[in-house]
Amino acid sequence: MSRRARLPGASDLFFRKTADLGTDRGGATRRVPRRGSPRVKHDTKITVYLSQQELIALEQARLTLRAEHDLRVDRGRLVREAVAVMLADLEASGPESVLVRRLSSDDEEAEQAEPTDADGPEETVA
């Protein structure tokens, strides 16, 4: 048995713990409004690849929030809020949600761009 007192680590001192907002004390799931998480230490990570134009648009949105609305947010927080808004809309509107409509139109555009088998093989001239 060590005589040393246990001291809290940096994560205990500087990062707020995120509570599980989706369950009550009995373990039953309850519906809570979706909201992006604030700047806290997150346990999970994903990597998202953006085009240069998308990254510039994201950065311009961040700067607009700062300049016009006095909101200082990082890109991660901005993305988490956008995801939360889209998921809340999907939950509330279902097939009429913005996300379903945009993804459906993307699928339709991709199908129209693909050549069909009825066209036959492409001929190449040597």
> d(Cα 62, Cα 57) in Å, to the nearest integer?
9
> d(Cα 109, Cα 70) in Å, to the nearest integer?
39
Question: What was the pLDDT predicted at 101?
Answer: 95
Residue 1 binned pLDDT confidence (cut-offs 50, 70, 90): low
Residue 121 has pLDDT above 80, yes or no: no
Tokens 């956008």, residue located: 82
Tokens 């500087």, residue located: 14
Burial of 94 (0-12, 13-18, 19+ CB in 10 A): exposed
Question: What was the pLDDT predicted at 39?
Answer: 65
> d(Cα 88, Cα 8) in Å, to the nearest integer?
37
Looking at the chain, the whole-number percentage of residues with pLDDT higher than 70 is: 63
DSSP 23: B
Least confident of 14-23, 39-48, 78-87: 14-23
pLDDT tens digits, residue range 90-113? 999 999 999 999 999 988 877 777
33 touches 87 (CB < 8 A): no
> d(Cα 120, Cα 125) in Å, to the nearest integer?
16
Question: What was the pLDDT predicted at 20?
Answer: 45
pTM of the model: 0.56
60 touches 67 (CB < 8 A): no
Q: Which two tokens stand for residue 8?
A: 């809290």
In one-letter notation, the amino acid at residue 97 is S
Question: What was the pLDDT predicted at 41?
Answer: 78
